[in-house]
Amino acid sequence: MSNRVLKKVNRRRALAMIGAAMVRPAVAASDPRADFDVVIVGAGAAGIAAARRVAAAGLTYVVFEANDRWGGRCHTDTRTFGIPYDRGARWLYEPDSNPLGNLATKFGMRLDSGFVPLRLRVGVRDGHLSELEQLLSGLLRCRRAIAEMAKGPVDASCAEALPKDLVDWRPTIEFMLGPHMCGRELREVSSRDFANLSERDSRAQCPQGIGTLIGKLAVGSPIQFYSPVTAVEWGGPRIKVEVRGATLTANAIVITASTGVLGSGKIKFRPALPVRYLEAINKLQPGHLDNVAIQFKGNPLGLKDNELVQQKVASQRTAVLLANQFGSSLCTVELSGASGRDLANEGDAAMIAFAQQWIADLLGSDARRSVLRATTSRWSKEPWILGAMFVAPPGEQSTRATLSAPLNDRLWFAGEATHQTSWGTVEGAWESGERAANGVVERIHRKA
| pLDDT tens digits, 24-37 | 333 455 666 789 99
- Confidence class of residue 117 from pLDDT cuts 50, 70 and 90? confident
| pLDDT tens digits, 272-298 | 999 999 999 999 989 999 999 999 999
* Selection from 421, 418, 413 nearest residue 400 by Cα: 418
Whether the pLDDT of residue 417 is over 60: the answer is yes
Residue type, 2: S
Compute φ and ψ for 348, nearest 5 degrees. -60, -45
| pLDDT tens digits, 178-225 | 999 999 999 999 999 999 999 888 889 999 999 999 999 999 999 999
| pLDDT tens digits, 322-379 | 999 999 999 999 999 999 999 999 999 999 999 999 999 999 878 889 999 999 999 9
Give the helix/strand (H/E) hosting 135. Answer: helix 129-150
Rg (CA), the chain: 23
Q: List every span in the chain annotated with CATH 3.50.50.60.
A: 11-71+211-285+387-447
* Selection from 109, 129, 107 nearest residue 119 by Cα: 129
Per-residue pLDDT, averaged over 393-417, amounts to: 95
Contact 295, 372 (CB under 8 A): yes
Q: What is the DSSP letter of 274?
A: P
Q: What is the DSSP letter of 71?
A: B
Contact 343, 354 (CB under 8 A): yes
The angle formed by the CA atoms of residues 260, 263 and 269, to the nearest 5 degrees, is 130
Could you tell me the fold of the domain covering 11-71+211-285+387-447?
Answer: FAD/NAD(P)-binding domain (3.50.50)
Residue 278, helix vs strand vs coil: helix
Instruction: Identify the pLDDT of residue 3.
Output: 32
